Amino acid sequence: MTDNAVPIFDGHNDTLLRLDMARRSNKTISFLKGDKSLHIDFPKAQAGALAGGLFAIFVPPPQEPGKPLEFSQMQQELDQGYALNQTLSMMAGAFRLARQSKARVQICRSSLEIKMAMEDGAVALMLHIEGAEAIDADFDALEVLYAAGLRSLGPVWSRSNIFGHGVPFNFPGSPDHGPGLTDAGKELVRECNKLGILIDLSHLNEQGFWDVNSVSTKPLVATHSNVHALCESPRNLTNDQLTAIAESKGLVGLNYAVGFLRSDGDKFNRDVSLDRMVDHIAYLLDYLGEDGVALGSDFDGAMVPNQINDVSGNQALIAQMRARDFGDDLIEKIAYRNWISMLEKTGI
Ligand code: ZN
């Protein structure tokens, strides 16, 4: 880490899923020692000044041993008991990691705990669920998961569940796809508002987005989404959605996935300039202002630009913001301060 490295709080990664998948297939990969298969591990986090982030728990569909997962299977609906078991497994992985790390990784349940972890030079890990399949309509699982440390939740991933429907990944495509939140989904939003759990809009379809907008009492947040006008993926946000997020004084985290950055939507072509990433940031700033833009890398869940490569490359993006004349204050806001204040505003 160089002297002028800016700490980064990252709104989205899938590192816990990578670690869980490795454990299930009896592969030893160590987050603490580092592993080249991971975008985020402890040595690379230190090199890139990663202060912490929302660490997602995502449940893939059941898989037959030895058979690769087809993409169409990913969108099939999940049984709640199965999803809860998988969620517990990934959460246990996070707690085990924190315990073995001797305080180098700290599970944080509040913005204050994130600040304390940052002072310790630890990686602050806040738990997020991407797709609420593990949660029952009576919210018993929600209550227990909250007590365990869950502080952020996307009601759906890009598939349907009892709470609503996600956006597909077709390109080019609109997020306007299918019905919005169910009554249970609206109740989930109210319950999360009450408990102090952030609602993530990133994988919701457009009607679901508007439903959260009308039900939620908190600022609107998309943890890892980009600009639809620059890349017409249904996962990106239209100008109308950005306007609504701005009106709620909400926030968007820049997604590094090349398929959500590139104008051609090619999710396998990693030749994407740092400037292109800053173009999305600049567009978001125009709509959302200095307090409404942050980072949400999607590390360990997507292909990222060559020039970033993994979390150790985060400071290259910071350098590009400097080269585009973003001041130090704005850069710090985008890098970590906006995330911490948004969590505070959400009651976390
Ligand atoms: Zn995602």
Identify the bridge partners of residue 128 per DSSP, sorted by sequence position: 56, 152
* In-domain check, residue 73: yes
Q: What is the pLDDT of residue 146?
A: 98
Cα 321 from Cα 47, distance rounded (Å): 19
Q: DSSP secondary-structure letter at 108?
A: -
The CA 325 to ligand 1 mean position distance, Å, reads 30
The CA 206 to ligand 1 mean position distance, Å, reads 16
* In-domain check, residue 99: yes
The CA 227 to ligand 1 mean position distance, Å, reads 15
Q: What is the pLDDT of residue 338?
A: 98
* In-domain check, residue 267: yes
The CA 4 to ligand 1 mean position distance, Å, reads 30
Q: What is the pLDDT of residue 167?
A: 87
* DSSP string for 253-296: EEP--HHHHSTT--TT-----HHHHHHHHHHHHHHH-TTSEEE-
* In-domain check, residue 3: no
3-state secondary structure of 127: strand
Q: Give the Å distances, CA to CA, from 227 to 34, 183, 265, 325.
A: 33, 29, 12, 21
* In-domain check, residue 274: yes
Largest CA distance in the chain: 51
* In-domain check, residue 2: no
Domain span including residue 26: 8-345
* In-domain check, residue 1: no
CATH number for position 332: 3.20.20.140
The CA 17 to ligand 1 mean position distance, Å, reads 12
The CA 263 to ligand 1 mean position distance, Å, reads 19
The CA 79 to ligand 1 mean position distance, Å, reads 20
Q: What is the pLDDT of residue 73?
A: 84
How many domains would you assign to the chain? Answer: 1
Q: What is the pLDDT of residue 2?
A: 54
The pTM of the full predicted model, rounded to 2 decimals, is: 0.97
* In-domain check, residue 278: yes
The CA 329 to ligand 1 mean position distance, Å, reads 28
User: Exposed, middle or buried: residue 192 (CB in 10 Å: 0-12, 13-18, 19+)?
Assistant: buried
List the structure tokens of 149.
């440390």
Residues of the chain with pLDDT under 70: 1-3
The CA 301 to ligand 1 mean position distance, Å, reads 7
The CA 98 to ligand 1 mean position distance, Å, reads 23
The CA 298 to ligand 1 mean position distance, Å, reads 7
Q: What is the pLDDT of residue 101?
A: 98
The CA 3 to ligand 1 mean position distance, Å, reads 32
